[in-house]
Homo-oligomer: A and B are copies of this chain.
Amino acid sequence: MTPKYTGIIPPMITPLMERDTLDCEGLERLIERMIDGGVAGIFALGTTGEAPSLSYRLRREVIEETCRIVDGRIPVLVGITDTSLVESAHLARHAADSGVEAVVTSAPFYFPAGQPELREYIEQLLPELPLPLMLYNMPPLIKTSFSGDLVTWAMEQDSIIGLKDSSGDLVYFRKMQRLAEERRPDWSLLVGPEELLAETVLLGGHGGVNGGANLHPRLYVDLYEAAAAGDIEKSRELSCQVLALSQSLYTVGQHGSAIIKGIKCALSILGLCDDFMAAPFHRFHESERRLIRDHLDTLKIPA
């Protein structure tokens, strides 16, 4: 009874050529780089993947192409978070048909559901899903958090297999970890903010869904492995490198979009894929691109 998903599962950005057009070659280069870097899986259509900004047609294409390229070498997970349960279920069925291994959902994000309503929602969703479900706690963008009571209930559902926590609230993470140790030792507890990968894994977390792993998968995999092995010195050192990356590349933009814009711009400079962004966002202007280039030089991320 050990967690199925451990290690680094990057929340893959979605390479675009224009508004509704996937950059398929970029996607291929990106995926190959992540697999070469040792990642344990790929999480497509999450926040970093700009999923809510994409048309449903494009989301289906991302699923198909990702599965085609990965070709079973590592697990593919797919985000189905939506405001409409019916659309979530459609996407989950398409994912299952395409070879995806698990789906991931947070709460519906337009109406702020109360905890009993959120539980009823998950209860209604589960029978519609042909795949195991991982919960995704994302309070900055989703108005509802999964409470301790709700997670306790979720642990009683066989088809729910873990929690990705992007709250940045390690007290919450620790509480969920304590629950899982008592009730579901097979649950995977993955952390979102990459700055907290070392801390969580050193104390028993199972891995990270970290945006920066799109860019420099090896660094995050090495950090995970150091922390999982209890090597504090190396964890500290690599964690400082991650911090240096996030503090430089993710702070060029002014708005909430700064992280995704920074990652896409850096990937484009490294020659991996286009940096086109889905509305409401745009790629960085030349002045910001120059800053990203300078940061990349300092960070020495391998091309």
Contacts and interface: CB of A to CB of B under 8 A. Distances in A.
B198 A170 contact: no
Nearest to A256: B112
Contacts of A203: 198-199, 202, 232, 235-236, 239
Contacts of A195: 170-171, 174-175
A243 B175 contact: yes
Interface string A162-200: 000000111100110010000000000000010110111
A139 interface: no
A83 interface: yes
Interface stretch (A7-15, A34-42, A214-222, A274-282): A274-282
A286 B160 CA distance: 31
A297 to B, nearest CB: 20
Contacts of A240: 178
Count identical subunits in the complex.
Answer: 4
Contacts of A19: 85-86
A54 B86 CA distance: 7
Contacts of A84: 52-56, 278-279
Interface string A1-32: 00000000000000000011000000000000
Nearest to A279: B85
A26 B83 CA distance: 24
Contacts of A95: none
Interface in A136-150: 141, 143
A124 interface: yes
B232 A202 contact: yes
A284 to B, nearest CB: 12
29 contacts: A47-B110, A52-B84, A52-B110, A53-B84, A53-B110, A54-B84, A55-B84, A55-B87, A85-B278, A85-B279, A108-B280, A109-B110, A110-B141, A111-B256, A111-B257, A111-B280, A112-B141, A112-B256, A113-B255, A113-B257, A114-B254, A117-B255, A124-B279, A171-B193, A171-B196, A203-B232, A203-B239, A230-B232, A232-B232
Interface of A: 19-20, 47, 50, 52-56, 58, 83-87, 90, 107-114, 116-118, 120-121, 124-125, 141, 143, 168-171, 174-175, 178, 193, 195-196, 198-200, 202-204, 230, 232, 235-236, 239-240, 243-244, 247, 254-257, 278-282
Closest 10 CB pairs of A and B: A114-B255, A52-B83, A121-B280, A52-B110, A55-B86, A85-B279, A199-B199, A113-B280, A171-B195, A112-B256
